[in-house]
Structure 1
């Protein structure tokens, strides 16, 4: 990996860190502070935010998703997920899933006053579900590719697959008041992955490879 590629990966990793940290912090704040103090009916799409606040908050959420997608692209280019089918397609699916979540956030703004059982709310909810499912599948596949590639070692190598497992679990929290906290954990796990990328931006040769080659020779 040349110097310009490493620099590009580092920039993507920094975007990843900001997006993941923002997601984690947002989830914690909503779960612990906003929800308990909210007087917005919980059958409103904008809950726990007022309709006016929801617009600004949702725009910020969309920004977090975009930054995470940039980070995931950088992760793919770093070579950490390897060149296997699962590694390559896992990263692509994770990016696509995150972009679907971005679109779902933006689609939420026009329906912010809708009831949860409205048809439009159901359609946007389906978008969120699809984005989460595709992201989870992508992270799990990329995680499997990362484990097989052996480029990352120690705690780093587990970060994609753990993030994928938790993203899958988020599907079960979708209709509960624990969703914001679950999203906070999702952000923390992506933050670990982002830090791993920032501190190991280039694919390094397996140190065991030269010894193995010598033994075969």
Structure 2
């Protein structure tokens, strides 16, 4: 079960990376939409299905965060993962709330409120991943121990990028850090398992589930 959740999150993160890259490289250079509009760089009509697609990607990432939650063996780690999952849900809701304000200006009330929701979602994700990352740094082994902290630190950077033209590039890198995180969840070992073959034999079947 946890493996399926991790794979689902990995797929969502990979597609998020590709969409961010496509917007930065293809959509932005060709856009004739004012960057003062909420839908930029998309037209209002195109922005609606795009927002729905983004919401679906957040759902896939949320399921990956559930895998992170299940991979944590301490209370602090699970609280952190739960915060990150909650932040991802806030981002999903913000994407859906973007649909009716696609044609509004950034300084209108609707975009200001939805923008604040995006900021809240990113902040919760950042805090949660940093907390979970500190726990993983202590309990996991190998490169996997750095994955959650890396994603959390980049989420902090995303707070500053969220209302700038560099957002698509930031989303691309965010997607990459999530790919690393979910790959770490799928391949992780705890310190105890790494040092004790008997414990490893008991834990590894649970990791596969």
User: CA contact under 8 A between 1:23 and 1:64: conserved in structure 2?
Assistant: yes
Matching of residues 75-154 of structure 1 within 5 Å:
75-78=68-71, 81-85=72-76, 87-150=77-140, 153-154=141-142
> What's 2:164 paired with?
176
User: CA contact under 8 A between 2:33 and 2:41: conserved in structure 1?
Assistant: yes
Deviation of residue 208 (structure 1)?
A: 3.0
User: CA contact under 8 A between 1:82 and 1:145: conserved in structure 2?
Assistant: no
Corresponding pairs, count: 198
Query: Equivalent residue of 2:193, what SS?
Result: coil
Deviation of residue 204 (structure 1)?
A: 7.4
Deviation of residue 177 (structure 1)?
A: 0.8
Deviation of residue 32 (structure 1)?
A: 1.0
Instruction: Specify which of 195, 199, 206 is matched with residue 208 of structure 1.
Output: 195
User: CA contact under 8 A between 1:14 and 1:194: conserved in structure 2?
Assistant: yes
> What's 1:15 paired with?
8
Post-superposition Cα deviations, 1:44-66, rounded to whole Å, max 9, x if no partner, equal: 10000011111111111111111
Give ranges in structure 1 of 5+ residues lacking alignment. Answer: 1-7, 211-217
Over alpha carbons, which structure has the higher Rg?
1
Work out whether 1:57 is the aligned partner of 2:57. Answer: no
Distance 1:148 1:115 in 2: 46
Query: Equivalent residue of 1:177, what SS?
Result: coil
TM-score scaled by length of structure 1: 0.87
Give ranges in structure 2 of 5+ residues lacking alignment. Answer: 198-209
Matching of residues 23-42 of structure 1 within 5 Å:
23-42=16-35
Post-superposition Cα deviations, 1:66-99, rounded to whole Å, max 9, x if no partner, equal: 1111011112112xx33142x1210010000000
Distance 2:194 2:182 in 1: 24
Aligned residues: CA RMSD: 1.7
Distance 1:9 1:45 in 2: 37
Q: Describe the shift of the 1:159–1:207 C-alpha distance in structure 2 as closer, same or farther (beyond 3 A).
A: closer
TM-score scaled by length of structure 2: 0.90
Work out whether 1:73 is the aligned partner of 2:63. Answer: no
> What's 1:193 paired with?
181
Work out whether 1:167 is the aligned partner of 2:158. Answer: no
